[in-house]
Structure 1
């Protein structure tokens, strides 16, 4: 019986406490209108997207990434497409998986890269950039290294 009282007494006390009520008091509070303030956040260090965009803008096919004989035959769109493909292949490409691009008037190309190799504390990759203009292939092979600022530069090239 004593156990029963010890178990039931707290349950009964809680049940009775829940039944007790007090009259609600109504208090009206005035609230001033809140105008959201813009939050300006500037990263201390550039984000990877900012670094990628900056590096892409300074990578140029005219700096040894494309056969020099093909450059005068390429339009601005060809160069932009080739430049973008070259950068993204070097930056993110899987070894042996070519990145295709297409420009104006049937001009096409592909960029294939090798695995990353560490040389003098720089990430380097071999590349093969093929440009096809009017049915003729222009091939440029070389090694590109990513500088500390994120820019890719051709270290050596062979036609």
Structure 2
């Protein structure tokens, strides 16, 4: 049997632990607290540069869009026609125009389910690198 001073010490220590740790469930005899968890939300993808980021590129899945963007950048940088073929059946080519000052126009033709779609864009040099601006 515990003596009164020992019992008072035990209760005081228990109370101090609950208050100091702010555990909220110390005085409760219920089960563990439940927490609501929200489903993870996927961050939206940044827009693809140039015409692939527009209406023409919206019908492409993510992997095919990456392939199209890489080919578009290569064509713009080199000034030479570049073809590409995605993993899911889409394909296309980019025809860059001649440099005009620090910019060049280009045409990107994309075939989705065999149907051609075409868009025109422009790329300009920024800090020595070609960037699709539209």
**TM-score band w.r.t. shorter chain:** 0.5 to 0.7
Deviation at 1:142, TM superposition (A): 2.1
CA contact (8 A) 1:93 1:99 kept: no
SS in 2 for 1:137: strand
Q: Which runs of 5+ in 1 are unaligned?
A: 1-59
**Residue 95 of structure 2: which of 109, 112, 119 is its match?**
112
TM-score by structure 2 length? 0.57
1:87 and 2:73 aligned: yes
Show the counterpart of 1:130: 109
Q: Point out 4+ residue stretches in structure 1 off by more than 6 angstroms.
A: none
Q: CA deviation at 1:105?
A: 2.4
Whether the 8 Å contact between 2:77 and 2:130 is mirrored in structure 1 is no
Q: 1:67: Cα distance to partner?
A: 6.8
Structure having the higher Rg: 1
Q: Aligned match of 1:103 in 79, 86, 102?
A: 86
Maintained 8 Å contact 2:121/2:132 = no
Unaligned runs of 5+ in 2: 1-45
Number of aligned pairs? 89
The TM-score normalised by the length of structure 1 is 0.49
- Partners of 1:84 and 1:151 lie apart in 2 by 12
User: Is the Cα contact below 8 Å between 1:116 and 1:124 reproduced in 2?
Assistant: yes
Taking the aligned partners of 1:67 and 1:137, their CA distance within structure 2 comes to 17
